Each structure stands twice: as structure tokens, then as C-alpha cells.
Amino acid sequence: MRPAYHSGLRQLVKRYERNPILSPEKWPYRVNAVLNPGAVQFQGRTLLLVRVEDCRGFSHLTVAASEDGKEQWEINPFPSLAAEEQFAEEQWGLEDPRIVWLEEEKCYAITYVSFSKGGPLVSLALTENFKEFVKYGPLLPPEDKDAALFPRRFRADGGKRYALIHRPIIRGEAHIWISFSPDLRHWGDHQILLPVRPGWWDQHRVGLGTPPVATPYGWLIFYHGVRHTASGSLYRVGAALLDLEDPRRVLCRTEEWIMSPQEPYELLGDVPGVVFPTGIIVDEEKNEIRLYYGAADRCVGLAFLRYREFLEHLVEEKTV
Ligand code: BMA
């Protein structure tokens, strides 16, 4: 018997009625697609660092900001963070940024995919103002994607180490991994955090969606899960909680997806059937989570979740 809360989680996700909030038609310069944004509250506004794909098929990242995080986006008229020649790994563009505020360093860490000739890999850039960025270069070898740092270091194992969630592809398997580093440059103690679940909706690939957010119940993460179907790959969304002190411990993981492509803008685009969350804002006062996601690799959608109710239901889920 399924417990009463089952599928209740999905009821707590509401798409913004005026979605998509950003689309290529509304962009100030000619682009093919705008998708998969990082999100952060910055100087009282919601700032999105949006992946923008140009009409050659290469991506860069551009800032868009709004007072309420829903409407009236002020979009930078030129790229904010783009590939540079001295970074060979960026040759085929920058994609899918995730943003985290690093408490100790007092700056934002942006982990993004840089597309090299050798495959996609995760690069790091630091910024204080989203105007000037310091590029750190790649963290781990290809093929790697879907990465975010935690906002603070961990004392587990006696050290004081940064932790990175990422998604290497090894032997063709695409699980979510976690790795540790004393200095953001040297990474080790790699282990699988959330594996794909054979037979399930997330059977073929999983990847981190939004950066970890500390809650009273643990680190909240949303992830995407992929199933290959006769008409292409279906990208859906699940959630999990990780132990606050030892993020290698998965406390719970949703059995069912909480979001699946259903709206026309999620079903029609360059890649039909994709919801791909990459940005999260938690407003505890409003009891609201705002999820920013790429829809069908063409535009950006926004979904609202009731923060406390969502967590209360989520902790009831098992680890499968
Ligand atoms: C993933 C990434 C994302 C993309 C998604 C769906 O592998 O490349 O950038 O949105 O596939 O196509």
C-alpha cells in the first residue's frame, strides 16, 4: 500500500502561469535558445545566469535580473561570461551554470560545463559582482557535467574540505558523484552519491539539478533523471536530502518524479520533453521555493513549491 503522501509531493509543485519567463524571442540580441540558468538573490533582486545558445550552436552565459524573480527581466545586452581563447577547454562554449555563495570566501562560485574537444567538463569561476569573473579552469577530466559546490566546507574525515557534486560518465554509466578537495583544485575521495535506478523513470542518467541548499532536515537537492524512450530522452525531476554534516549520506530520495514535461513549452523545442532545473531560490518568509529550469532546451520556466510542506513530505520518502 502506498502511503497517503505519495504523489502528494508532485501536487506541491506549481508552474508559474505566465511561463516561460525567458525565451529567445525576448532576448536583446539574436540567439537560438535560452535555458538552464543558475539563480541567486543578489542586491535584493533575483539574478539568473542564463545559458544562451547562439545560432552557431555554441553557448555563453548572460545575466538577467528581476525584482520579483518572475517578471520584468532586465537582460544584459551582451554575454557576461563567454569562452576565451586562453582556456582551450572552452572551445565549444560554456553551458549550464550552477551558483553557490561561498560563506568563507565571501564570493559566488559558478560551476559550469566547458565544452572541450575532449568532451564536456566542469569548470569553476568566482565572482563578487557578476561583472568580473575569475576563472579557475577545469576541476576534473571529461566527461563530466552537472556540478555544484556546497556553500561551506566539511569536517568529515578530520579535514576541512570542500565538496563537489558532479556527474561523470564512466563505462557509459551516468550516476551522480561526490568528491572532496582541500583547496578547490585537487579533488579526491570520489564516490557515487545517487546512482541511476534500473527500471525506474531515472534509469538511464541522473545529474544534479540545483545546488545544495541547507534546510533543517538536510541538504536539499533537485536532480534530473532520464529515461530513453522510443521517441527520445525524457528528462524529469526528483529530489533528495543529504546529511548536513556528512553529505555522502543520502537521507531520502523521491520514488516518483515531482515534475515531468507536460506544458507545450516543455514538449516543443530543440529537445522535446525536457524539464531541467538548475537554479533555486528559497524564500523562508514566503514559505516558497522557486525553481528555475530549462524547458525543451529552448526557454526558461519557473515553478513554485511550498517550502515547509515539501520538506515535510520529502523526509517521509525512503532511500531507494
Ligand atoms: C543534458 C545537458 C543539458 C540539456 C539536456 C537536455 O545532457 O546537455 O544542457 O539541457 O541534456 O538536452
What's the pLDDT tens digit per position in 89-101?
Answer: 999 999 999 999 9
- pLDDT reported for residue 248: 96
Q: How far is the CA of 206 from the centre of ligand 1 (A)?
A: 11
In this predicted structure, the answer to whether residue 283 has a pLDDT above a threshold of 50 is yes
Over residues 53-78, mean pLDDT? 98
- Are the beta carbons of 314 and 306 closer than 8 angstroms? no
> Ligand 1 mean position to 79 CA, how many Å?
20
Helices in the chain by DSSP H: which ranges? 8-11, 264-267, 307-314
C-alpha to C-alpha distances, 207 to 23, 67, 174, 211, nearest whole angstrom: 24, 30, 8, 11
Q: Are strands 74-75 and 94-102 parallel, antiparallel or unpaired?
A: unpaired
Instruction: Let me know how long the chain is.
Output: 320
Report whether pLDDT(205) > 70: yes
The preferred substitution site among 235, 236, 293 for testing ligand 1, maximizing ligand atoms within 8 Å of CB, is 235
The Cα 112–Cα 101 span in angstroms is: 15
Q: How far apart are CA 236 and CA 294, in angstroms?
A: 11
Residue ranges per domain, the chain? 23-314
Q: Is the pLDDT of residue 6 over 80?
A: no
Pocket lining: 19 vs ligand 1, CB cutoff 6 Å? no
Residue nearest to atom 10 of ligand 1 (CA): 297
- Ligand 1 atom closest to the Cα of residue 113 is 9
Q: What is the pLDDT of residues 235-257, one digit of tens each?
A: 999 999 999 999 999 999 999 99
Starting at the edge strand found earlier in the chain, the sheet holding 133-138 runs 94-102, 107-116, 119-127, 133-138
CATH of 23-314, one of 2.130.10.10, 1.10.1470.10, 2.115.10.20, 3.40.50.2300: 2.115.10.20
Q: Does the Cβ of 278 fall within 6 Å of ligand 1?
A: no
For a substitution probing ligand 1, which of 297, 298, 300 has the most ligand atoms within 8 Å of its CB?
A: 297
Report d(CA 118, CA 252) in Å as an integer: 35
Mutate to test the pocket of ligand 1, among 96, 121, 265, 278 (most ligand atoms within 8 A of CB): 96
Residue 7 — pLDDT band, cuts 50, 70, 90?
Answer: low
Amino acid identity of residue 62, one-letter, is T
Task: Report the SS3 class of residue 142.
Answer: coil
Q: What is the pLDDT of residue 79?
A: 98
Task: Determine the average pLDDT of the residues in 166-173.
Answer: 97
Q: Whose CA is nearest to atom 9 of ligand 1?
A: 96
Q: Is the CB of 80 under 6 A from ligand 1?
A: no
The pLDDT-based confidence of 5 (bands split at 50, 70, 90) is very low
pLDDT band at 157 (very low <50, low <70, confident <90, very high): low
260 CA to centre of ligand 1 in angstroms = 15
